[in-house]
Amino acid sequence: MSSIENFWAVIPAGGAGTRLWPLSRSSSPKFLHDLTGGGRSLLQGTYDRLAPLVDDRFMVVTGRAHRDAVSDQLPDLADDTIVAEPSARDSMAAIGLAAAMLEREHPDAVMGSFAADHVIADPARFGDAVRTAVDAARDDWLVTIGIDPTFPSSAFGYIHLGDDLPGHPGAAAVREFVEKPSEDVARDYLATGRYRWNAGMFVVRPRVLLELLAESDPAFAASLREIAADVSRLEELWPSLPKIALDHAVAEPAAAAGRVVTVPASFGWDDIGDFDSLATILGAAGEDLTVLGVADLVQAIDSTGLVVPAGGRTVAVVGLDDVVVVDTPDALLVTTRARAQQVKDVVAALKAQGRDQLT
């Protein structure tokens, strides 16, 4: 199948991934790591699954500190397609700047924004959903992809479906975006069959995105367009941009105004939020201890869970169930799958102690 005409992939490559410490660090965040054991980083995996849809029409927005690493991992990207943010100002600024640049240089473009640190098991079905989304976006909708939930997660926001969208089979109106619910509420959502996970995937014409932003914050949209018109003003204007997520700045108000549609889809998505989620993706279950990395480094006796021997040393685990052991050259984590969310507390403690070189 050929790529999608005039379709651009925007990849915001940010986020610390503190719940994946000590693998993920501020100096080497989650998206730069191969967490699936397939030999490609999450960023490279994102690139691999989008390339058939966009050919070379990529734009990666990342922190200045990670520009070289992104460039090294994606050598086929032209240098001017990697946009380096002077500082982290959340997703609206990052994706909005890409939109402003595309609007100026490629007025017919439709853009799709896909985080650099997610995994998708079935790229073909992902591609089908994106094609459907692009079709709807050409009609000036803000389109999101709604992931069929596989369990009542309290870790994700949800998309509440409305009526089917006429003329676009496979797309439906969005009533509203709802914040991460409790597990009980999530269970109720699933029972209705009308809720999908919000994976933060947005497909939209750049002009439409900026117009929606301008409705709530005209100065923000204007600043983004000024930077796109004269990149030398980036340093001057960037620090003044609001720190806000695209969901809050645009998607939620647009949904309330009936301007958002979604393409429900199922393609084995996960954002690898923590080591428990990583263990699930890697198939850790039952009586096995799963190793991400060189299996020969691990000696397991009567143990289950996940071991990441990324420090090059032998790791022996004796008599622990659902354990998580992550070994790196300068830091080691030992926890359980059930406590995986609390790993971010370690990072917070290290920061509080001024040991930022470890975070």
Shortest Cβ 318–a second copy spacing (Å): 4
Pairing of strands 158-164, 110-113: unpaired
Shortest Cβ 24–a second copy spacing (Å): 14
Closer by beta carbon to a second copy, 237 or else 320: 320
Shortest Cβ 303–a second copy spacing (Å): 8
Shortest Cβ 101–a second copy spacing (Å): 41
Pairing of strands 269-270, 119-120: antiparallel
Query: In 3D, which of 49, 13, 12, 10 has the Cα closest to residue 30?
Result: 13
Shortest Cβ 311–a second copy spacing (Å): 8
Rounded Cα distance, 247 and 138, in Å: 20
- The residues of the shown chain that bind a second copy, judged by CB under 8 A, are 21-22, 299, 301-302, 311, 313-320, 323, 325, 327-336, 338-339, 342-343, 345-346, 349-350, 355, 358
**Does residue 118 sit in helix, strand or coil?**
coil
Shortest Cβ 19–a second copy spacing (Å): 11
| Cβ-Cβ contacts under 8 Å for 322 (sequence gap 6 or more) | 304, 305, 336, 337, 338
Closer by beta carbon to a second copy, 170 or else 311: 311
Shortest Cβ 118–a second copy spacing (Å): 25
Closer by beta carbon to a second copy, 124 or else 301: 301
Query: In 3D, which of 129, 141, 209, 142 has the Cα closest to residue 169?
Result: 129
Rounded Cα distance, 82 and 72, in Å: 11
Could you tell me if 65 and 82 are in contact, meaning their C-beta atoms sit under 8 angstroms apart?
no
Closer by beta carbon to a second copy, 155 or else 338: 338
- Integer angstrom CA distances of residue 224 from 117, 265, 302, 322: 25, 32, 56, 47
Closer by beta carbon to a second copy, 171 or else 307: 307
Closer by beta carbon to a second copy, 142 or else 272: 272
> Which helix (H) or strand (E) covers residue 101, if one does?
helix 90-105
Closer by beta carbon to a second copy, 191 or else 334: 334
Could you tell me if 320 and 328 are in contact, meaning their C-beta atoms sit under 8 angstroms apart?
no
